[in-house]
Amino acid sequence: MGWQHLTILWLAAALPAWATPAVEARLDTAQVRVGDPLHLELRLHYDQGTEVLVPALPSLLKDFSVRPETPSPPVAAGGGMEELRRYELRLYQPGSYQIPPLEIGFVQGDTLKLVTAPLQVEVLKVRQEGDEVLRDIKDPVELGGGLPAWAWGLAGGLVALALAGGWYWWMQRRQCPGLPSPPPPPKDYLTEFNRIAAMGLLERDGTKVYYSLLAETLRRFLEDQLGIVAMEQTTEEISQTLKASRCDAVLVAQIESFLSAADLVKFARLIPVEEEARQAPEAGKAIVRRFLEIAAAQEAAVRQALERTPAPTG
């Protein structure tokens, strides 16, 4: 969808047009899906030497997750200065939302305040109607007839032999020189939690952004590890998916507690206890470590089982 433009220009008759402050607010789209980013752009025009006062959007846009992008430095344009400020916005519940009028101050001796018109955005569900609830996995159905037991045993032995051969070939291929380099290592999510903790958001009234980033990091970790669309699922849906895949019950409870705490801050506007908020990145790191430990143990068990499987005899 093209850019949605809403522009307000306030002109003072006593000044040349190029010296008159102006602000243009626009969204790159008016319709997104749950969790997808959209971008708000503020284009500011003002005379050189003017101080620009822009409100703190994370505090003003309570329903949104707001991440300011690196601002572009002001450039000379039309005899004055032009500045571009961009913000990445996300919404995690479907429905209609509004970016309210933003009051921008221009200070040069006196203060001139310009107000943008509201911007509308529609957030769509990821799932279609009728697919809201995850269905339980049905019990296996036992079929009559089929191959005799000895044939199934032989087939299982051949499969195990093929897997062992594939594993040996892959290990040998890794050690051969001249082959293409392996893919880059996965993202370091422990470092990402540390980065969020060091951003100083709690000291700058950015609690909602802080918890949004923490929850997003854990959701992306689950996507990388399990191949699920965690960024587009509710906390309850993620919990049900993990339980259906027979994940460790204690670990599932920790993940659900972590994401639920973030939901309360983002959507119910809960003000968390300061000490709990500061410990949230450590809780996220503990979940990542525990998850990787369990995955490594399961992989080792499978590898040992393959190594112990005897080759079928003729």
State the total domains in the chain.
2
pTM for this entry: 0.42
Q: Is 65 helix (H, G, I), strand (E, B) or coil?
A: strand
Query: How far, in Å, CA of 59 to CA of 150, rounded?
Result: 69
93 lies in the same domain as 197:
no
pLDDT at 268 over 60: yes
Q: Is the pLDDT of residue 180 over 90?
A: no
Is residue 306 exposed (0-12), middle (13-18) or buried (19+ Cβ within 10 Å)? middle
Same domain? 30 vs 112:
yes
Does 13 have pLDDT greater than 50?
A: no
Q: Which domain holds residue 32?
A: 4-124
The pLDDT value given to residue 220: 93
- In this predicted structure, the answer to whether residue 146 has a pLDDT above a threshold of 60 is no
Instruction: Summarize the confidence of residues 105-123 as an average pLDDT.
Output: 90
Decide if 265 is inside a domain: yes
What span, in angstroms and rounded, lies between the C-alpha atoms of 294 and 298? 6
Mode of pairing for the β-strands spanning 38-46 and 51-53: unpaired
Name the pLDDT band for 17 (thresholds 50, 70, 90): very low
On whether the CB atoms of residues 100 and 60 are closer than 8 A, the answer is yes
In a domain, 254, yes or no: yes
Measured distance CA(298)–CA(303) in Å, rounded? 9
The whole-number pLDDT of residue 40 equals 93
Asked whether 246 and 298 are in contact (CB, 8 A), the reply is: no
Distance, in Å, from the CA atom of 205 to the CA atom of 161, rounded to the nearest integer, reads 59
